[in-house]
Amino acid sequence: MTAVSASPLARLFLIVTATLLLLGMATFAQAAYEPARGSQERKDLMNAIRPLIVARVGAPVEFVVNRLRVSGPWAFAIVSPQRPGGRPIDLSRTLMREQAEYMDGGLRTYVLLAKAYNRWNIVDYAIGPTDVFWYGDPLYSQLPAGLVPQ
């Protein structure tokens, strides 16, 4: 019986593959954190969410960030939209006027985002939900720990 040794190219391929796998796992397992106020990452996340709200209530819109967590390519935000300077948004003057009476938290918005192609993209959202909409959804059970509130 003879031992077969891998060629240098095959060994290099195995090393590169193992390294990429470990890096990918490390990225997915990152602890969830909140991007710092004023950071580019936080601005990018808010700017990804803004068109969703502006399309429904009109511009301009700013956010009070109630919760913001990022882990690897995933982010989860809970934001309360308002007008600049902290002025409330009058729902009776928006496209949301018909739903206003069914919205427990007003315009409080819950957004799941994924980073792809170097930008944040909305994967799922709920505006003024009456329940914890993500419970039982298989997508949310696959997310990193600490990203979504329990």
The number of distinct structural domains making up the chain is 1
CATH code for position 75: 3.10.450
Yes or no: say if 107 and 91 are a contact pair by the CB < 8 Å rule: yes
Q: Is the pLDDT of residue 12 over 90?
A: no
| Per-residue confidence (pLDDT) for residue 48, from 0 to 100 | 98
The pLDDT tens digits for 39-92 are: 999 999 999 999 999 999 999 999 999 999 999 999 999 999 999 999 999 988
pLDDT higher than 50, residue 121: yes
Task: Name the band, by pLDDT with cuts 50, 70 and 90, for residue 137.
Answer: very high
DSSP label of 20: H
In the numeric block, the tokens 């192609």 are attached to 117
Collapsed DSSP state (helix, strand, coil) of residue 25: helix
Element (H, E) at 126: strand 119-127
Does residue 102 carry a pLDDT above 60?
A: yes
- Would 146 be classed as within a structural domain? no
Domain assignment present for 77 = yes
Q: Is residue 91 part of a domain?
A: yes
Query: Which of the two residues, 9 and 99, has the higher pLDDT score?
Result: 99
Give the global pTM: 0.77
Mean pLDDT over the full length of the chain: 84
28 belongs to a structural domain: yes
150 within some domain: no
Bridge partner list, 113 = 75, 122
Q: What does the alpha-carbon distance between residue 125 and residue 131 come to, in Å, rounded to a whole number?
A: 13
pLDDT reported for residue 98 = 74
pLDDT range class, residue 21, cuts 50, 70, 90: very low
What are the respective helix, strand and coil percentages of the chain, to the nearest 5? Answer: 35, 25, 40
Does a structural domain hold residue 40? yes
- The pLDDT of residue 35 is above 80: yes
Structural domain of residue 43, as residue ranges?
8-141
